[in-house]
Amino acid sequence: MTTYLVTGGAGFVGSHLIDRLLEEGHSVLCVDNMVTGSRTNIAHHLSNPKFEIMRHDVTFPLYVEVDAIFNLACPASPVSYQKDPVQTIKTSVLGAINILGLAKRLKCPVVQASTSEVYGSPERHPQDESYWGNVNPIGPRACYDEGKRVAETLFFDYRRQHNVDAKVVRIFNTYGPRMAVDDGRVVSNFIVQALKGEDITIYGDGTQTRSFCYVSDLVDGLVRTMETGRDFSGPVNIGNPAELSVHGLAKQVIELTRSHSLLKTMPLPVDDPIKRKPDISIAREHLNWSPEVELKDGLIATIDYFRSLGM
């Protein structure tokens, strides 16, 4: 049995990771400042003696005793990370320094939730881990992209300079139950709009692509990364290579919800990447990982979740 620290554990991905770790019989300390997370995501564990929650902001030092760390704390949707950009970049940078300082003192492994956003609007397609990216350092997405890029730098410097078993996972767009209704991401927006019969908001012409990974597949990738030996650092892409246009996603959601919603075109946000698709060769080879959940099945589970909220 291991005691895990999961920062950002009350969020969408973190809460599913905690489900998995507790199911496997481990203990979990969830650290979260609740900026985008919610107690309801982890409410089902509150009476479990192996589960503990601590309200704390990772931009401040954290002194706890654990065996392994997943660092997920950071708002993830453009709407939420652009609400307070300075706090977003502090969370990635100061958060990484504190969490790496903690891992260094504890001599324990630490996995960083990085993002496909480090590739920016990519000029190489699909994106493999050797690609350095095409990121605007001063645009509205920079607080997130550049924050995550600095966090990666810190992870590799703590590995080289302080011998910390630091690992980096680059997560591509992930969806599933417990996405926040109002966080503005495309899958949650489209499903909520379709269920309410509201117009589906397509930003730009809808030809931009994303590759959507179901949350249980991502959690499996995170756990497998933690289980690698200290020689494995990543960065490793975790995502589903099945690429889809935003317009194609809207059509699928309308079909699966049997909605009468109409499509409504809205301006494309500044610096919105035109395409994105992971090359997952490293994950296949080093983690023996590949995604298992088809988009249709994942969307049905996510639609059921939003229906259960009364949408």
Task: For residue 229, give the DSSP letter.
Answer: -
Given 6, 18, 154, 171, the residue binding ligand NAD (CB under 6 A): 171
Q: Is 144 a catalytic residue?
A: yes
Q: Which of 11, 100, 104, 91 is nearest to 59 (CA)?
A: 91
Residue 246 as a binder of ligand UDP (CB under 6 A): the answer is: yes
Is residue 235 near ligand NAD by the rule CB under 6 A?
no
Positions 91 through 110 that interact with ligand NAD (CB under 6 A) = 91, 95
For position 72 contacting ligand NAD by CB under 6 A, the verdict is yes
Binding partner selected for residue 78 from ligand NAD, ligand UDP, none, CB under the kind-specific 5 to 8 Å limit = ligand UDP
What is the four-CA torsion angle of 145, 150, 151, 153, rounded to 10 degrees? 130
* Minimum distance of ligand UDP from residue 188's CB (angstroms): 8
Residue nearest to ligand UDP (CB): 101
Measure Cα distances from 29 to 22, 33, 189, 239, 290 in Å: 11, 13, 31, 26, 28
Residues 262 and 151: their CA atoms lie apart, in Å, by: 41
Closer of 22 and 62 to ligand UDP (Cβ): 62
* DSSP H stretches of helix in the chain: 12-23, 78-81, 85-106, 142-162, 186-196, 215-227, 246-257, 281-282, 295-308
Which conformational region is residue 2 in: left (phi greater than 0), alpha (psi within -120 to 50 degrees), or beta? beta
Alpha-carbon span 305 to 307, nearest angstrom:
5
Residue 129 engages ligand NAD in binding (rule: CB under 6 A): no
Is residue 217 a contact residue for ligand NAD (CB under 6 A)?
A: no
The answer to whether 148 and 115 have CB atoms below 8 angstroms apart is: yes
Measured over the CA atoms of residue 29, residue 32, residue 38 and residue 39, the dihedral's sign is: positive
Which is closer to ligand UDP, CB of 167 or CB of 210? 210
Cβ atoms of residues 41 and 50 within 8 Å: no
Piece of the chain touching ligand NAD by CB under 6 A; list 42-50, 157-165, 169-177, 302-310: 169-177
- Give residues 52-91 in contact with ligand UDP (rule: CB under 6 A): 61-63, 77-78
Q: Among residues 9 and 22, whose Cβ is nearest to ligand UDP?
A: 9
Partner touching 8 among ligand UDP, ligand NAD, none, CB below 5 to 8 Å by kind:
ligand NAD
| Footprint of ligand UDP on 164-223 (CB under 6 A) | 173, 185-186, 189, 201-203, 208, 210
Residue carrying the six token digits 């492994």: 109
The listed partner (ligand UDP, ligand NAD, none) that binds 211, CB under 5 to 8 Å by sort, is none
Alpha carbons 174 and 263: distance in angstroms, whole number: 23
Q: Which of 247, 175, 254 is nearest to 212 (CA)?
A: 175
Among 81, 119, 144, 158, the active-site one is 144
10 binds ligand NAD (CB under 6 A): yes
Stretch that binds ligand NAD, among 68-76, 199-207, 222-230, 282-290 (CB under 6 A): 68-76
Q: CB of 195 within 8 A of CB of 311?
A: yes
Give the residues lining the site for ligand UDP (CB under 6 A): 61-63, 77-78, 97-98, 101-102, 104-105, 173, 185-186, 189, 201-203, 208, 210, 246, 268-269, 272
Which of the residues are catalytic?
144
